[in-house]
Structure 1
């Protein structure tokens, strides 16, 4: 499962372009109908694996190292590719059955070297399984018997980010999960995700979500809280 947090104004404006025919879109999903609450879509595991590098590249764009024009244009490009891959999940049942194969094809996406893909797969599994270790590009390269240069090149091609940036994303995802799903302190959650300094974890978290971990815990899902409160009120017996 991926939890995607998008700017409200940006999401509405872009989805309006992607879905010009409101009648073909699932109820409540079109930006003219969307109430701002979280949306759950189920594109399937295969699609999630394909779009994971796109989301990772989008998240990297927001690290304040790129000019705003580059961030805007690249984000729109990646978002359009993502929508194209999961388009049927946004359409109504009747319309979602037509033309489910996305028209876009990557130029450099062919898997021409199975051995190299195997090495990258091993490296990704190591980082995920052992994210708390003090990894460097050198130590990871030695683990999978590749040069640092070749390892970095292969990560950029198949994972969408350099090895250590990929590791940061893995740690950030786990840190966010711990903040949301457990009562661990920020320091303990940061340590469990692989950061010795909780300030580093909090800084990455704030870059991603716009609030600190503590602020997020106070109001993680305001729209959901409103809905739960409303339903609770409706379920109470009336005299």
Structure 2
């Protein structure tokens, strides 16, 4: 049996099976593997409660890990709520947003939020969550937008920067795919603004080699990265430890 991924549709698998002289074509639709049984779940941070459509578990196949809320998102949401007075009036872009938990929290605290991811399935659920917040009266429609942003596609970056030439005060992300992430962060941080902009990374430590690689990759791109004091917390029922990184351009 030979399997090939359709380059125009990565969620489509075509399988061919050859038995003796007869050809039997079997087409496996990706929806067979795709769980879209999203349920509303409440997430509470201090005085703020956010309802999201999400899964409790997700397949890593087809890059659909964004169907659930990851520990780094919760860690960052808690931190941003603590800084609510400091980020009031900010314009924010969320990278690799998944279901948009921290972006939606920011939309309650800041002037405007752009939530981005690159997976079409995830973006559809994120838009569901935005629409749910709006219909529930918890969010103004003008406060948040959802956009596709693949870090490897320059046109996506250009389109967002053209639509928001004023740039962003705050960039946030919940975990790291290092080279493209830091390259993308640097491009947004370089946008000229009246006040310096900054990025926050909600980081959960799973491997020491990754911990070292984070700082190393940031330094390569002339970014200043520092752990925010007092943000270390247990994550994933105490199995791991997480903290917040603050990232900015080197002076």
State the TM-score, normalized to the length of structure 1. 0.29
> Which structure's residues are more often strand, by fraction?
2
More relative contact order in 1 or in 2 (CA 8 Å, sep 6+)? Answer: 1
TM-score (norm 2): 0.28
